[in-house]
Amino acid sequence: MRLPVLVLAALVVAPWAGSAADAQATTRRKVYISVDLEGIAGVVANSQTSPAGANYDWARKQMMAETNAAIEGAFAGGATEVLVNDSHGPQTNLRPDEIDRRATLITGQPKPLGMTQGLDSTFDAAVYIGYHAPGSTADAVHGHTFSGALKVVRLNGKEVGEYGLNAMVAGYWGVPVVFIAGDRAAVEMASDFIPGVDGLVVKEGIGYYAAKTMHPVEAREKIAAGVRAALVKRIARPPVKLGPSITLEVELDALAHADQVALVPGMKRNGRTVSYTSSDPLTIYKVARVIMALSRD
């Protein structure tokens, strides 16, 4: 039986719609994109330190290009609104005049919720671009979690990186993380922590400052296609939910840092390791940021 032309058109332009009820709900589809730098294709070091400082301008351009690829994929996948959060270092890496004009950008810091600023329950999906693994991971390009001073970070006993802390906040808002791009270590660890997430490996770490990398143009093409595919899937992917009680445990690099962090009311300490328990994911996230701030030399 032939489908009417209008029906075929509707199936093409509304990939998230599965029924008449769904069609009414597709009038507004919001996608949140958090973008870091260390996991961008071709980038092999942190832009804030030697030797990457000399390559920062180039790395920044690649970050901008992968961001625009993700935005392209989001709109192709049915998004009607896209919010991008610059999530690396000073968080002023993405130039507002170079971002896809269909998207809105959050730039600068400090921001109360850092890499998750702007996310709330009105979003339908979250996407992570340029992500990296935590600092204890072998063959991860510049692995760390917020700061090199936070050597190991655990949520309810499971080690996580920034992807895990950010997914916890997305889960608080009921938003599933549907796609992540970065180095192999980051994608594999995130896939183990975030249910149903689609992952794209754009490079494989060779130690801390080296990698075997996909060509940046190919990476951008795959990001656009991957984000679109992740959004058009009909599979229900649950957001990350921890609790009812969440314990944040952080092993710090120095006793002096633990001395500072231990001053936070409610914080527990065992040598260089500090921990904090709460039922509120946003509180846990903010405490992690406080630990980072107190651990700066």
Kindly list the catalytic residues.
144
How far apart CA 270 and CA 277 sit, in angstroms, is 15
Amino acid present at 104? T
DSSP, res 254: -
Both tokens of 282, joined, read: 């946003």
Angle between helices 56-76 and 216-232 (to 10 degrees): 30
Closest CA to 69 of 57, 58, 84, 80: 84
Helix (H) or strand (E) holding 65: helix 56-76
Both tokens of 3, joined, read: 């489908």
How far apart CA 164 and CA 229 sit, in angstroms, is 22
How far apart CA 232 and CA 294 sit, in angstroms, is 42
Provide CB contacts within 8 A for 278, sequence distance 6+: 245, 246, 284, 287
